[in-house]
A = this chain, B = another copy of it.
Amino acid sequence: MALKPVRVLISGFGNVGRELVRLITEYREVLARQGVRISVVGIVDSRGALVSRQGIPEETLLQLLEVPRGGVSTFKDGRPGLTTLGALDELEGVLDVLVEVTPSNYRDAEPALSHVKRALDVGVHVVSANKGPFALKYQELASAAERRGLYLGLKATVMAGTPLIDLLRYGYTGRSVELVYGVLNSTTNYILNLMHGGLSFPEALAKAQEDGYAEPDPSLDLEGWDPAAKISILSGVLGRHIPVHQVTRVPLSPAVQELVEAEWPVRYIARLDVERGAASVRPEPVEPGSPLARLQGARNGVHIVSDGGKIIYLEGTGGGPRPTALALLSDVALIARAL
């Protein structure tokens, strides 16, 4: 039986974009068993693009994994200077899904915001690991998607391979979610664990960078932008968006030393009070022995309180290229099955 493929354009070709392409080839059989076939009709990086209305052949996809950053358009038939907006134009009529995996920014979310808007305008579903557009403009984008009957696949934006967003979206429809709180950022958690082990803040930060848990410029994590964007997106999923700039952010700074030396373990907690319409990210003491207190490495954990105090807990890997790509793949597959 020839499956009709879902046709995707990948905007961004760094670690996550490449891992997604790898998965699409690697998971061909797993997907086929679920009635899903994915065809990549375009890949865009910072310098250009490669597009093919018939779909880029698998051999080419595997070869593209080897080109250096920014090198997609140097490939045969590559199109130097072609942007995501340009590719959206060229692929009109043969594109089902835009996969947005450019890096998040919380100033204006561009260029991803324009990509997402254009995609929705021309009737293309959106799957994104980029948090920016949704942390800033959730309501506007969700309304546009709903008007056109399009799907916004966002599970890669929060907890990566741990499908918290599906749990909230489908598992709590018709119910009353009161509170969502937990650890949604691995960098700050890694640093806090090292500080509880006796390191000072600067020592812990240096070691986190050494171990690959903190970026060379760690400010998006330490200033709380990353978990603030995530809790903002969760508020949107729950129907009352709090834009990221309205999330109270207390950065993780050397001042946390005092809290760390007190009795309870400290976690960098993202918190959404749905009823009050308030969200925050800040260091908070948590009960010793509680699930959040025990989180190590890149693990994230979140409590959901609903319906008069019913509590559940979900824990899993919070990031990394492969878990993020698995989440993207899953959203593309959900769309494919709905088509």
Contacts and interface: CB of A to CB of B under 8 A. Distances in A.
Q: Which of the listed residues A172, A312, A314 has the most CB atoms from chain B within 10 Å of its own CB?
A: A312
Contact of A315 (B169, B313, B317): B313
Interface stretch (A29-37, A186-194, A245-253): A29-37
Instruction: Tell me whether chain A's interface is mostly helix, strand or loop, or mixed.
Output: mixed
Interface in A296-333: 306-307, 310-317, 322-323, 326, 329-330, 332-333
Interface of A: 27, 30-31, 33-34, 36, 155, 161-163, 166-167, 169-176, 239, 291, 306-307, 310-317, 322-323, 326, 329-330, 332-334, 336-337
A266 B175 CA distance: 34
Closest 3 CB pairs of A and B: A163-B171, A174-B333, A312-B316
A158 to B, nearest CB: 12
Given A33-B239, A175-B329, A310-B323, 12 more contacts: A27-B176, A30-B175, A30-B176, A155-B171, A166-B171, A167-B314, A170-B170, A172-B330, A175-B326, A307-B322, A311-B316, A311-B317
A46 B191 CA distance: 60
B307 A326 contact: yes
Nearest to A300: B312
Contacts of A312: 161-162, 314-317
A90 B316 CA distance: 48
Contacts of A310: 161, 316-317, 323, 326
A147 B169 CA distance: 25
Contacts of A326: 175, 306-307, 310
A107 to B, nearest CB: 31
Contacts of A291: 291, 315
Nearest to A167: B167
A337 to B, nearest CB: 6
Contacts of A36: 174
22 contacts: A33-B239, A34-B239, A161-B307, A161-B310, A162-B312, A163-B171, A163-B172, A166-B166, A166-B167, A167-B171, A170-B170, A172-B330, A173-B330, A173-B333, A174-B332, A174-B333, A175-B326, A307-B322, A310-B316, A310-B317, A311-B316, A311-B317
A176 B28 CA distance: 11
Contacts of A166: 166-167, 170-171
Nearest to A336: B174
Contacts of A330: 171-175
B314 A173 contact: no
Contacts of A306: 161, 326
